[in-house]
Amino acid sequence: MNQDDLKRAVAVAAIEYVPADCIVGVGTGSTANFFIDELAKIRHKIRGAVASSEASAKRLKGHGIEVFALNDAGDLPVYVDGADEITRHMHMVKGGGGALTREKIVAAASRKFICVCDESKLVDVLGRFPLPVEVIPMARSSVARQLVALGGQPALREGFTTDNGNLILDVRGLQIMNPVELESTLDHIAGVVTNGLFARRPADVLLLGTVSGVKTMTAQ
Ligand code: 5RP
């Protein structure tokens, strides 16, 4: 089994969490793409989807799945998305694909967050993956200086603009011992739109793709 097989297996498992006749929240990235492909197989059983990125919206539409604006959809029963890292407490680092802001918005509007990952993403402590921080362009340097003051080493994601027209700083070297507190601290820096810590609103269920099958986990 390769990594794509594990991603496909968790995408198949996630379909069980999609109620009939609903609008489903859909994440971004390679694992979310497998989920979109599975969703296409049951498209006649759902009303449609809210996408967390332009890329996911395009893929959904390509499969003939109606894409709703979140403002028109109201609260969603379920949001399905991948992660760059996740702990047993269901705290995550996300934003490797740069869609963190819309991901956090759609997740916040959803009653259940189903995280779909292959087993390489499960960690004891967050922080090996550089933490993405979306910043308003005029605040790039001042935010970077404050991230350095917090012990981080920010690097501009070169040649990348988010769907919201902003920049991403990828931050290495942060000690993420208290993800809930750090998420709030980073959000309070003027010019930060969103940071990639998803700890205040953790996942409800993790579907973890392993060589021995899909494991279903909840917060420990
Ligand atoms: C995109 C994300 C993705 O969920 C994260 O990067 C994981 O992606 P993949 O499934 O390709 O490993 O947060 O902004």
Position 220 confidence tier, pLDDT thresholds 50, 70, 90: confident
| Residue 16 per-residue DSSP state | G
Rounded to whole angstroms, how far apart are CA atoms 208 and 160? 29
Full-model pTM: 0.97
Ligand 1: centre distance to CA 30 (Å): 7
The response to whether residue 100 sits with its C-beta less than 6 Å from ligand 1 reads yes
**22-48 per-position pLDDT tens digit:** 999 999 999 999 999 999 999 999 999
Ligand 1 neighbour 81 (Cβ under 6 A): yes
Residues 138 and 152 in one domain: yes
The answer, yes or no, to whether any atom of ligand 1 lies below 6 A from the CB of 30, is: yes
3-class SS string, 130-177: CEEEEECHHHHHHHHHHHHHCCCEEEECCCCCCCCCCEEEEEECCCCC
Q: How far is CA 14 from the centre of its chain?
A: 15
CATH number of the domain residue 75 falls in: 3.40.50.1360
Using DSSP's 3-state secondary structure scheme, residue 189 falls into coil
Helix, strand, or coil here: 101? helix
Within this chain, do residues 37 and 76 fall inside the same structural domain, yes or no? yes
Give residue 213's identity as a one-letter amino acid code: G
Domain count, the chain: 2
Domain that holds residue 181: 131-195
Say if residue 1's pLDDT is above 90. Answer: no
Taking only the tens place, the pLDDT of each residue in 99-152 is 999 999 999 999 999 999 999 999 999 999 999 999 999 999 999 999 999 999
| Backbone φ, ψ for residue 9 (5° rounding) | -65, -40
Q: How far apart are the C-alpha atoms of 220 and 208, rounded to whole Å?
A: 15
DSSP one-letter code for 121: G
Indicate if 11 and 111 belong to the same structural domain. Answer: yes
> 180 with 206, same domain?
no
- What's the pLDDT score for residue 154? 98
Question: Do residue 87 and residue 117 come from a single domain?
Answer: yes
d(Cα 78, Cα 192) in Å, to the nearest integer?
Answer: 27
The answer to whether residues 7 and 39 belong to one domain is yes
Q: State whether the Cα torsion 5-67-14-126 is positive or negative.
A: positive
Residue 175 pLDDT: 82
Span 155-188, pLDDT tens digits: 999 999 999 999 999 999 998 999 999 999 999 9
| Spatial contact of 90 and 219, defined as CB atoms under 8 Å apart | yes
Same domain, residue pair 207 and 191: no
| Ligand 1 mean position, distance from CA 178 (Å) | 22
CATH value at residue 165: 3.30.70.260
**Residue 16 appears among annotated catalytic residues:** no
* pLDDT, tens digit, 9 for 90 and up, residues 3-16: 999 999 999 999 99
Tell me the three state secondary structure of residue 112.
strand
Q: What is the pLDDT of residues 59-84, one digit of tens each?
A: 999 999 999 999 999 999 999 999 99
Nearest to 131 by CA among 109, 146, 147: 147
pLDDT reported for residue 110: 98
